[in-house]
Amino acid sequence: MLEIKPIINALLRSKVGAVLLLIQIAITTAIVSNAAFIINDRINYLNQPTGYEEENIFKFNVMTFGTGVDLIQQIELDEDRIRQLPGVVDAVQISAIPLSGGGSSTSFRLKPVPEKSKSVNASYFETDEHGLNTLGVNLIAGRNFTQEEVVINRDFTKYPNVALATKALMDELYPDGDGLGKTIYTGDKPLTIVGIIGMMKGPWMKLEERKDKSVIIPMLDPSKLHQFLVRTESGRRAEVMTQIEDLMHESYDKRVIQDLTGLDKKKADYVAEDLLMMRMLVILISVLVLVTALGIFGLTLFNINKRTKQIGTRRALGARKSAIIKYFVVENSLICIAGLVLGVCGAVFLGQQLMAHYSVPALSYWYVAVTAVAVFAMSLLAVIGPAKRAANIAPSIATRTI
């Protein structure tokens, strides 16, 4: 016997506390389902595969202030010396660092400018034939470019005619999957794709349209500030990193080594804001759920204190303890269900607003459903203690004058 009708009637006659709780449950459901969805979206973003052994790769910048040094010769010398270090797999000078948030991108086309053609935006890295091995990414078709194909350039008079491209880019340019060996264009400059790379994130992880689309161009175009990327054997990165500064200064000391950092650290810095936002959302959810649980707990306790005599009377009239517990659980469940109905509508509305104004992906209704079930379970847990307390009110309270 659930007494639903008299409970509803009683709630309708004295509704302030119930309405406040209902609103609290609705707000919690609306916010928690959207926040949980955003958190999961962030977790997927933070954990997306990059294609790199991030813990074995590091980078550093070289700022040369000395004059009279041939930068290209010096870079080749530096690369050789780094590669000689015990524990180093490969090292290379490169124009951009993956996962760092900073790099270059351009449009790659099927036909040269000014012809009309399909065009896809992608990031690009300029490096030599050691780039592929240093990055450690997987070549799934074709070949790497050779040393002879690398263009060493200071004034853009020469431009390479081959390149490597990621599968994501080639699939978009050539949906039939026959891009290997084809020529694509950047502006009016042709590049024949000699190799296709599997997973390889560019410098940006969050720009959906180009995060997986990259091109590696065989070119060295060093300036006084240039950067190296080094891949080490597993577990030997820290040991190698400690030797870099001395090694670089031994061969030429009129330069400064800056930002000697692991790739995982670069990535962590890049995603720090997202991580912070995610943590804030987790705290927000926890506080909201806690406040709602306390609200239910408090309201039920308040109701019990207000209705002590009534509970005693019910017990005197034949209510078992279980009937008293059931009464409060049903009363709370009715409030909770009404709050959840309102909260689910609120969650969908909030999701649509977030999508419209803040580019948040469309809210999955699974999150709303799971949140609603979780809030309902939480409300049951919150009410059961006070309800048991109510059930322990002695029936003899009915005959006392209080």
Give residues 338-397 in contact with another protein (rule: CB under 8 A). Answer: 394-396
Least distance from another protein to the Cβ atom of residue 30, Å? 29
What is the C-alpha separation between 15 and 379, in angstroms, rounded?
18
b/e burial code for range 308-342 (CB count within 10 A of at least 16 → b): beebbbbbeeebeeeebbbbbbbbbbbbbebbbeb
Asked if 284 is part of the footprint of another protein (rule: CB under 8 A), the reply reads: no
With binding defined as CB under 8 A, does residue 308 bind another protein?
no
305 binds another protein per the rule CB under 8 A: no
- The packing angle between helices 272-306 and 16-46, to 10°, is 160
**Applying CB under 8 A, what is the total number of residues that bind another protein?**
27
In the complex, the smallest distance separating the C-beta of residue 316 from another protein, rounded to whole angstroms, is 5
**Contacts to another protein from residues 311-330, by CB under 8 A:** 313-323
x/- site string to another protein, residues 45 to 84, per CB under 8 A? Answer: ----------------------------------------
Indicate whether 1 belongs to the interface with another protein (CB under 8 A): yes
Kindly tell me which residue out of 135, 165, 344, 398 binds another protein, with binding defined by CB under 8 A.
398
**Residue 14 binding another protein, by CB under 8 A:** yes
Provide the CB-side half-sphere exposure for 275 (13 A, CA).
8
- Does position 399 interact with another protein (CB under 8 A)? The reply is yes
Residue closer to another protein (CB basis): 94 or 398: 398
Q: CB 308 → another protein: shortest distance, Å?
A: 11
Rounded to the nearest angstrom, the gap between the alpha carbon of residue 383 and the centroid of all alpha carbons in its chain is 36
Q: By CB under 8 A, which span of 45-53, 142-150, 308-316, 346-354 interacts with another protein?
A: 308-316
Query: Is 309 a residue that touches another protein (CB under 8 A)?
Result: yes
169 phi/psi in degrees, rounded to 5: -70, -45
Minimum CB distance to another protein, residue 398 (Å): 6
Stretch that binds another protein, among 6-14, 34-42, 250-258, 345-353 (CB under 8 A): 6-14
Complex with another protein: residue 36 or 319, whichever CB lies closer: 319
Taken as a whole, the chain contains a residue count of 402
User: In sequence order, which residues have a C-beta less than 8 Å from that of residue 368 and are 6 or more positions away?
Assistant: 29, 33, 344, 347, 348, 351
Binding site for another protein (CB under 8 A): 1, 3, 6, 9-10, 13-14, 309-310, 313-323, 394-396, 398-401
